[in-house]
Structure 1
Amino acid sequence: IFTDFEELHGDRNFSDDKALVCGMARLDGIPVVIIGHQKGRDTKEKVERNFGMPRPEGYRKALRIMRLAERFKMPVITFIDTPGAYPGMGAEERGQSEAIAKNLKIMAQLNTPIICTVIGEGGSGGALAIGVGDRVNMLDYTTYSVISPEGCASILWKSADKAADAAEAMGLTAPRLKELGLVDSVVPEPLGGAHREPETAAAALKQELLRQLAELQAMEPEELLDARYERLMSFGNFVEE
């Protein structure tokens, strides 16, 4: 999808979190900033990437890079694929909830276009911390939810056996969330998932990103922020039948 990618490291406060990859690249020649979860592919890499569960320093790194994007007037493109923010003691001691909350606040106010795409699983605040944008996409077979179906079933029905019922009630699939107005676009995947034909999936996503970016870059800064605010405030609206 991108060319000339240059990774940027560290939050300038504690360390570099490898569960979140950030950097600068070009999308069809357009300079952009990329931020995305990275789970890893084999056991060694999964451990190194903490299975895609960022710690506070990961979110603070992402925030630092987003502020750079705003300064240099570069669009921000994020890729979401995480079971959630890391819930370990060290992460809590270093302010996990504060880091997530600050990202939500700053992303809502960031004076540059933001496009977010769920490419695997979007788990709760760990996903939302890089998921506030002007456009939010989901690949066809991805999920986005506040909790896993098993976790929800354990709380509501005291049994993980009700996971299927919980999944249905939460409406965590891409078509359902599009129907509810929580995401803007569902990007088609090859049969069986993007991993079956990654080049085909990447080409489809690239076209959608370019289309959305053209729309957003045509807007004045104040218009962009107003539209983002209206989009966020519309969540939860419904009409009684």
Structure 2
Amino acid sequence: MKNKSAQTKAWKTVQIARHPERPQFLDYANELFEDFDTLHGDRLFGDDGAMVGGLARFDGKPVMVVGQHRGRSTRERLQHNFGMCNPEGYRKSQRLLDLAERFNLPVLTFIDTMGAYPGIGAEERGQAEAIATSLAQLASLKVPVIATVLGEGGSGGALGIGVADRVIMLSHSIYSVISPEGCASILWKTAEKAEQASEALALTADKLVKMGIVEHVIDEGEGAHLNVEQVMQSLKEVLNQTLAELQPMDADERCEARYQRLMKFGSDNPGIVS
């Protein structure tokens, strides 16, 4: 009964993370930041609507903001490709991160994607290379990097903007190497066991913070869509506190700490920051 209860809780979290009324990246961007000016294009192929980013002010201080936006209406979802980035999306984020480092701007990324777009065109244009380059760039970036999982953090599509000094999760968001349906299809040859897979993946915020993969969890009650103002205010406070902690650090010291944070994953002593 205990295992069944845990499965039900994990699966409920998956459903809330995917709730159609859940606040999305641009909702947070418009509420948390002032003077948010989006920048477009990767200067190689085109502009990817799934990845949105640009310059903004956070409590009056300049920052670089990058996030994945899924859209709500059919037209908006098509415009943003349902939040699934093509290679040009990751190359656009790389361009913005280069600008952030050049002008010494903290980077705030916001994750909400089922995963990177798996189409043939994306593969032909170097999807895997684009994500790998993003991982390497974020690992060595000299400025503070804070990643926040807003809803669904799926696979390499999420990791492409997820390597950071600190990772924040909303309490009903999820973060995993694969979707529960994808996991179930591989392990049991049927997506009908997605509920069971959701527990096996340990994709909820409470489990990830225990493993040291996430540093802060924002309590959203029964769901961010029911407590929008409270959740955004809580997130703003945590972002402020985290920036205040990271910015005074020497750049090389911060990069080394980021590297050591990554190297602790999977160890018996994850070095959790509460």
| TM-score of Structure 1 vs Structure 2, range by shorter chain | over 0.9
Task: Give, in whole Å, the separation in 1 of the partners of 2:57 and 2:185.
Answer: 44
Cα deviation for residue 157 of structure 1 reads 1.3
Cα-to-partner distance string for 1:109-154 (whole Å, 9 max, x where unaligned): 0010000000000000000000000000100100001111111111
The residue identity in structure 1 corresponding to 2:49 is K
Unaligned stretches of 5+ in structure 2?
A: 1-31, 270-274
Deviation at 1:22, TM superposition (A): 0.5
Q: Which of 263, 267, 273 is residue 237 of structure 1 equivalent to?
A: 267
Q: Deviations over 1:51-100 (max 9, x none)?
A: 00000000000000001000000000000000000000110000000000
The residue that corresponds to 2:208 in the other structure is 177
Residue 206 of structure 1 aligns with which residue?
236
Aligned pair partner of 2:158 in 127, 146, 165: 127
Q: 1:57 aligns with which of 85, 88, 104?
A: 88
Identity fraction in percent: 58
Q: How far apart, in 2, do the equivalents of 1:101 and 1:229 lie?
A: 16
Q: How many residues align?
A: 238
Does the alignment pair 1:197 with 2:227? yes
1:197 Cα shift?
2.5
> Hey, what does 2:218 align to over in structure 1?
187
Could you say which residue in structure 1 is the equivalent of 2:170?
139
CA RMSD of aligned residues (A): 0.9
- Select which of 183, 190, 205 maps to 1:152: 183
Q: What code does the residue aligned with 2:164 have?
A: G
- The alignment partner of 1:78 has SS state of strand
Q: How many angstroms does 1:161 deviate by?
A: 2.2
Partner residue, 2:75: 44
Counterpart CA distance in 2 for 1:107 and 1:77 is 12
Deviation at 1:196, TM superposition (A): 1.8
Cα distance between partner residues in 1 of 2:190 and 2:264 = 34
- In the alignment, what sits opposite 1:76? 107
- Rounded to whole Å, the distance in 1 between the matches of 2:214 and 2:129 is 25
Deviation track 1:19-48 (CA, whole Å, cap 9, x = no partner) reads: 010111111111100000000111110011
The structure, 1 or 2, with the larger RCO (C-alpha pairs under 8 Å, 6+ apart) is 2
> What is the alpha-carbon distance in structure 1 between the residues aligned to residue 234 and residue 102 of structure 2?
30
Gaps of 5+ in 1: none
The residue number in structure 2 matching 1:13 is 44
Tell me the TM-score normalised to structure 2 length.
0.85
